[in-house]
Amino acid sequence: MCGIVGYVGEKQAAPLLLEGLKRLEYRGYDSAGIATLSNGRFTVHRSPGKLSQLIERLNGSYPAGTTGIGHTRWATHGRPTEANAHPQTDCSGNVVAVHNGIFENFPERKAALQAKGHRFTSETDTEVFAHEVEEAFTGDLFAAVQKATRHLRGAYAVVVSSSGEPGVLVTARSGPPIVLGVGQGENFVASDPVALAPWTRDVIFLEDGDVARVSASSLRIADSEGRERERSTHRIVWDAVAAEKGGYRHFMAKEIHEQPTAVAETLGGKVSLETGELSFRGTLLSPESVAGFDRVLLLACGTSWHAALIGKFLIEGMARLPVEVDYGSEFRYRRPVVNERTLTVGISQSGETADTVAALSEARRAGSPLLAIVNMPGSQIARMADAVFPTHAGPEIGVASTKAFTTQLAVLFLVAAKLRESRGLERGLTGEERKALAHLPAALKETLDLEPQLESLAREYQTARDFLFLGRGLHYPVALEGALKLKEISYIHAEGYPAGEMKHGPIALVDEKLPVVVLAPHDGWREKTISNLREVKSRDGIAIVVTTRQDEEIASLADRVLVIPETIPELQPILSVVPLQLFAYHVAVRRGCDVDQPRNLAKSVTVE
């Protein structure tokens, strides 16, 4: 999942491209490169590794040119070397291209072009595109790209420039996202509006199949049939500052601490904390629509899938509607039974995760109405859904998802309450729920105040080889999330498990060296969870307990106890996950890991 950026205007392109790439680096950081056009020739600079290595190589002497493209890579085809870095070029160096996605039929296209005498210098699928454009170019780059894309199959977002038509960029999209940034006397192209925040907040989201010609003074878009198209301009609400660290050492730390505000803003305007009245736009959750549903299907990946598991508990518990949860990457390949009586909900921070997009398209094909819970406005999942329930977490830059997760849980609680109301079970929120929701941001702040305890816990257990996270009911998915956070940023092997399942296998792992994090809030599952805690202690496991009240029984069993604020069971996971986020963060920092850009990962997984 690469980050691509392009600029055409009066300013020197190189500094803008590098700044844009800095803001896109969370999408992939295996290699980076830029190309600018000056005096009819492209200058290409590429480097394996992080963008900082490219910037070091440039050493402040940027290539000239007011037209340029840039790329930061997550390697799919070809190792992270300089030769495989983007921009890729054609035989003559007159065409330069950057790409996010995968051209599935590149081997046969490469062979066909080699048979015509084209010489290739990389292992990438992308280089084929540069040569296809070279092959099709007769002076009109727009037409050449339309022709080139017809030869290629797969998922792609590409930007290309040619010295044969200076001052023009052409971009095409089929799958991964592309936005055009609208400027004054200049225009931009990028994978994500975040990259353009310092220069413009007016963006145009390209649709699948669109090809766009971008010059300093004009934008022209044609759809997959070549028909000229007008696409609406969106003004992005958050500014450049929102996409900065704000004084924190890492984006992840900032985003963990932004959760009280993010949750408050996500709830804002959707529920009256005075009356408990729910206010949703759109008809998808109206009594008439809900009467037509006999089940709910939640589709997501990674951390969003953990939110979906909690959504199942909330919707079944509150609205008494059967819920199925599935991985985006598994769903469409198992011939699922879905129809118009199934309400499908897609959950995604980025709104661009290819596995989730593909699963939702499958549900849509079966006639199922789609509700999207996404954090990125204008994203593919938002645009394909019948109704959108946005989380207002703001830009999430750290690869490990934190504030998006807690805001997803807040939204799922309101969706469950709305379904309950539309099924005539309860009007709006109960008094207890209203109070708990009103107090949630303050309770989150209180939980964040535990940070020093998590820091010392991290100091103590930073060298552990394995971890086990246990929880029951609503806290079993929280245990999964705690394990995922630790795995993905500290590279310590960790497993989350339903506490009751431990005795059916994982208990074999328990010994005096294994830290076991047990989530034991004072809820209906506490008794049973305590007996699992006893099982851990009877095998000398190290028990780290997260609970909501000091009590002797837990104190007598646990090696370390963390007491977090208590709220109603349905909202408790929003608080319980915070110490697990902080713990993972401080362990990773202590182990010297790259917290915001963990190895082998990317923020938005735009290929299947």
Contacts of 321 (CB under 8 A, 6+ apart): 293, 294, 295, 296, 315, 419, 423
Cα gap 147→132, rounded to integer Å: 8
Tokens of 222: 């044609």
Span near ligand AGP by CB under 6 A; candidates 217-225, 297-305, 316-324, 534-542: 297-305
Place of tokens 């245990």: 479
Tokens of 400: 């490990």
Nearest Cα to 606, choosing from 193, 2, 161, 131?
2
Name the residue nearer to ligand AGP (CB basis): 186 or 255: 255
Q: Shortest gap between Cβ of 154 and ligand AGP (angstroms)?
A: 20
Q: Count of residues binding ligand AGP (CB under 6 A)?
A: 15
Q: 603 catalytic, yes or no?
A: yes
How remote is the C-alpha of 434 from its chain's centroid? 30
Buried b (16+ CB within 10 A) or exposed e, 208-244: bebbbbbbbeebebbebeeeebebeebebeeeeeebb
Q: Shortest gap between Cβ of 129 and ligand AGP (angstroms)?
A: 26
Name the residue nearer to ligand AGP (CB basis): 68 or 193: 193
Cα gap 554→573, rounded to integer Å: 19
Indicate which residue of 22, 312, 487, 603 is catalytic. 603
Name the residue nearer to ligand AGP (CB basis): 72 or 215: 72
Name the residue nearer to ligand AGP (CB basis): 120 or 491: 491
Residues 183-242 that bind ligand AGP (CB under 6 A): none
Structure letter (DSSP) for residue 7: E
Q: Do the Cβ atoms of 170 and 142 come closer than 8 Å?
A: yes
Q: Shortest gap between Cβ of 327 and ligand AGP (angstroms)?
A: 10
Q: How many CB atoms neighbour CB 538 within 10 A?
A: 11
Q: Shortest gap between Cβ of 304 and ligand AGP (angstroms)?
A: 4
**Which listed residue (94, 161, 303, 391) binds ligand AGP by CB under 6 A?**
303
Q: Do the Cβ atoms of 186 and 8 come closer than 8 Å?
A: yes
Residues 359-418 that bind ligand AGP (CB under 6 A): 399-401
Q: Shortest gap between Cβ of 326 and ligand AGP (angstroms)?
A: 14
Indicate which residue of 2, 22, 110, 254 is catalytic. 2
604 binds ligand AGP (CB under 6 A): yes
Q: Shortest gap between Cβ of 608 and ligand AGP (angstroms)?
A: 12
**Which listed residue (488, 495, 523, 570) binds ligand AGP by CB under 6 A?**
488
Q: Which residue is nearest to ligand AGP (CB)?
A: 302
Q: Shortest gap between Cβ of 305 and ligand AGP (angstroms)?
A: 7
Nearest Cα to 89, choosing from 47, 131, 51, 32?
131
Residues 340-369 that bind ligand AGP (CB under 6 A): 348-350, 353, 356
Name the residue nearer to ligand AGP (CB basis): 162 or 304: 304
**Which listed residue (31, 47, 100, 304) binds ligand AGP by CB under 6 A?**
304
CA-to-CA separations, 17 to 6, 65, 169, 199, 237, in angstroms, rounded: 7, 11, 14, 12, 22
Name the residue nearer to ligand AGP (CB basis): 364 or 423: 364
In total, the chain counts a number of residues equal to: 608
Q: Do the Cβ atoms of 285 and 418 come closer than 8 Å?
A: yes
Name the residue nearer to ligand AGP (CB basis): 95 or 577: 577
Q: Which sequence positions are flagged as catalytic? A: 2, 603
Footprint of ligand AGP on this chain (CB under 6 A)? 301-304, 348-350, 353, 356, 399-401, 488, 604-605
